[in-house]
Amino acid sequence: MELYMSLAIGVLFTVGVYLILSKSLLRIILGTSFLTHGVHLLLLTMSRLKTGAAPLLGEKADAYVDPLPQALILTSIVISFGVTSFFFVLAYKAYQKLGTDDMEQLKGEDAHE
């Protein structure tokens, strides 16, 4: 099972990197979302996907899944959610004010101000 998950995560990373390297800002933001999805699945996978009950003591099972990565993922999800929403608004503002979403035209030198 871990093998399939690793392959899927690999695909997510690939797609994420490919999108981040593109010119349009919106694609870049989508790329970062793919990347964070991949990372969260990686956290889940790296704690071994053994079968067990959900980590609720009421289940009274013999074995539970590892509860720690789930807490880490939950933390990381809300952080990346906050960051992504900020990034979206930033991209919107930048589009309004700079009039482009093409990274080529957002190059660093101060020539075009």
Taken as a whole, the chain contains a residue count of 113
Judged by beta carbon, residue 62 or residue 110, the one nearer other proteins is 110
Please, are residues 32 and 90 in contact by the beta-carbon 8 Å criterion?
no
Residue with structure tokens 């995560």? 9
Judged by beta carbon, residue 8 or residue 43, the one nearer other proteins is 43
Provide the minimum distance between the beta carbon of 1 and other proteins in the complex, in angstroms, as a whole number.
Answer: 14
Q: What is residue 55's three-state secondary structure? A: coil
Provide the minimum distance between the beta carbon of 72 and other proteins in the complex, in angstroms, as a whole number.
Answer: 6
- Note the residues at the interface with other proteins (CB under 8 A): 20, 25, 28, 32, 35-36, 38-40, 42-43, 45-48, 68-69, 72, 75-76, 79-80, 82-83, 86-87, 90-91, 93-94, 97-98, 106, 108, 110, 113
Q: Is the dihedral of CA 57, 61, 63, 66 positive or negative?
A: negative
- b/e for 85-107, b at 16 or more Cβ within 10 A? eebeeeeeeeeeeeeebeeeeee
Provide the minimum distance between the beta carbon of 46 and other proteins in the complex, in angstroms, as a whole number.
Answer: 3
Provide the minimum distance between the beta carbon of 56 and other proteins in the complex, in angstroms, as a whole number.
Answer: 19
